Amino acid sequence: MEDYSKILSNYNIEGYSISFKDNDYIVDCKSEMFMLHTYRSKKTQLKDFLQFYEDLYNNGFRKIGKIIKTNNGNKYIKARDTSYFLTSYFREDTDFVYNIDFFKNSILLLNKFHRCTIELHPEKYNFKREYTKYIKRYLKRIDYMLNLKNTISNNIIKSYFDNQVLDILVNYDEVLTNCKKIFSNLSTIKNKTPHRYKFSASGITIDDFTKSDNKIKLKNINRIKYSYYHMDIGSLLNSILNQPSVNWDYQTFNDLIEIYKKNYNFSLEDIYLILGFTAFPYKFYDICRDIYKKHSHKNISEYKLALNNILSQSENVNTWFKFYVEATDI
């Protein structure tokens, strides 16, 4: 990164400490906090993203940080191959814990985020239409895991990781196979209706939410896609269902779904999409990719613990999946 003091000299910020968080920086001035965001895509994409972000805020979604302009009135700063922009940030409540009320309020906030995008038009931001692209991406990931099961099974000599991963793949076989059918059949659903919302925050999880001043806030929006909003619902629900206190409990899941949709009836396509995006084993796929594609073993102890947790939950995932299919009659 560029010298952050040079970047921050473009703002009226003094007496701060800074800490790295994911790809961004938390700037703590004691009396107030900011987030310095890094952005490495094309300038036109950043301009569209910032315009969307600002429009979303002005359209009533105030549970995210506000864009702070530079001393010269610019929304971002370009330095070498990276751009930076600054937003206000929330100081987390000291008594903040993950519990069912927090999960419910996070789902409610996601619904508000989507509702605040209704009046925003994709044409204004030049966002690419990425519906088919994402379905193909998920199908490719599912095929990778199904093929990996066959590859490991045929190995005469198996490592510790091979045995762990194979056990999980065997337990997840029905879920993965049915997810593949769901995504493959999406284009053939007869009662397709226009999607209620047009934008997706792409990969949002429970870790993207926090509690500040006793209110639920969204820490950050990294990317906006003109794609299935169901991805947001699915990835958030997946991250909640994987919490030890929930452990893929179907009743909790059903309560969260009812909170999100309120009086709105999901179409058949909505039901399929939410099932597929919720059931997809995001964490497990990432571990498989790291071990077998990237050949990374730098987090061996973390991988072992994560795989043990995933394996212990697999029976509950299968039970949840069957409940969902029976309840929705698909």
Same domain, 172 and 301: yes
Q: What is the pLDDT of residue 187?
A: 62
Same domain, 36 and 110: no
Same domain, 84 and 111: no
Same domain, 216 and 118: yes
Q: How far, in Å, CA of 96 to CA of 287, rounded?
A: 29
Intra-chain end-to-end CA distance of the chain, in Å: 50
Q: How far, in Å, CA of 34 to CA of 65, rounded?
A: 8
Assigned domain for 21 exists: yes
Same domain, 85 and 106: no
Same domain, 105 and 84: no
Picking from 24, 54, 89, the residue at the C-terminal end of a domain is 89
**Residue 63: CATH number of its domain:** 3.30.200.20
Assigned domain for 128 exists: yes
Same domain, 258 and 226: yes
Same domain, 215 and 237: yes
Q: What is the pLDDT of residue 192?
A: 58
Q: What is the pLDDT of residue 328?
A: 74
Residue 34 φ/ψ, nearest 5 degrees:
-135, 160
Assigned domain for 69 exists: yes
Assigned domain for 94 exists: no
Q: How many Cα atoms are found within 13 Å in the side-chain-facing hemisphere of 230? A: 23
**Strand pairing class (67-68; 33-39):** unpaired
Same domain, 41 and 170: no
Same domain, 76 and 130: no
**Residue 156: CATH number of its domain:** 3.90.1200.10
List the chain pLDDT tens, one digit each, 330 residues: 557 888 999 998 888 898 887 788 999 998 899 999 988 777 678 899 999 999 999 999 999 999 999 999 999 998 878 899 999 999 999 889 999 999 999 999 999 999 999 989 888 898 878 888 889 999 999 999 999 999 999 999 999 889 999 999 999 999 999 999 989 987 665 555 668 888 999 889 999 999 999 999 999 887 888 899 999 999 999 999 999 999 999 999 999 999 999 878 888 889 889 999 999 999 999 999 999 998 887 778 899 999 999 999 999 999 999 998 887 766
Picking from 62, 89, 116, the residue at the C-terminal end of a domain is 89
Assigned domain for 95 exists: no
Which ranges constitute the DSSP H helices of the chain?
A: 4-8, 43-58, 100-115, 122-125, 131-154, 160-171, 173-185, 230-241, 250-261, 268-279, 282-288, 300-328
Q: How many domains does the chain have?
A: 2
Pair of tokens at residue 105: 């309020």
Q: What is the pLDDT of residue 220?
A: 87
Same domain, 278 and 226: yes
Q: What is the pLDDT of residue 1?
A: 52
Q: What is the pLDDT of residue 44?
A: 72
Q: Which domain holds residue 71?
A: 4-89
**Are 204 and 229 contacting, i.e. CB atoms less than 8 angstroms apart?**
no
- pLDDT tens figures, 193-232: 668 888 999 889 999 999 999 999 999 887 888 899 999 9
Assigned domain for 270 exists: yes
Same domain, 158 and 263: yes
Instruction: Identify the CA nearest to 285 among candidates 134, 176, 122.
Output: 176
Picking from 89, 121, 148, the residue at the C-terminal end of a domain is 89
